[in-house]
Amino acid sequence: MTSLRFHIRFPEDKIKEPIVYQIGHEFKVVTNVRRADVRETTGWMDLELTGDTAEIERAVDGLRKKGVAVDPIELNVVE
């Protein structure tokens, strides 16, 4: 299993949607919120995804299709 971290940013119209929950159910990945700051008009999150590499890639694509910005976190080191 692979664990990779991503920084995701939510636009205002996506703040109240359960996007991380949906990704965890739509794809064979485990989601782990490492850090987050979500407010009424903006939000970001450092999210760790664990699973097969191909499934993580599908989950990242799914996040982007749901309208959030996704960037890999350098040095994807799991503590």
Domain ranges of the chain: 2-72
Which residue type does 41 have?
A: T
Average pLDDT over residues 52-68: 96
Task: Tell me whether strands 69-72 and 43-51 are parallel, antiparallel or unpaired.
Answer: unpaired
CATH topology assigned to domain 2-72:
Alpha-Beta Plaits (3.30.70)
- Write down the pLDDT at residue 37: 95
> Which residue, among 8, 11, 13, 10, has the nearest Cα to 31 in the 3D structure?
8
Sheet of 30-38, strands arranged across: 30-38, 43-51, 2-10, 69-72
pLDDT tens-digit profile of 23-43?
Answer: 999 999 999 999 999 998 999
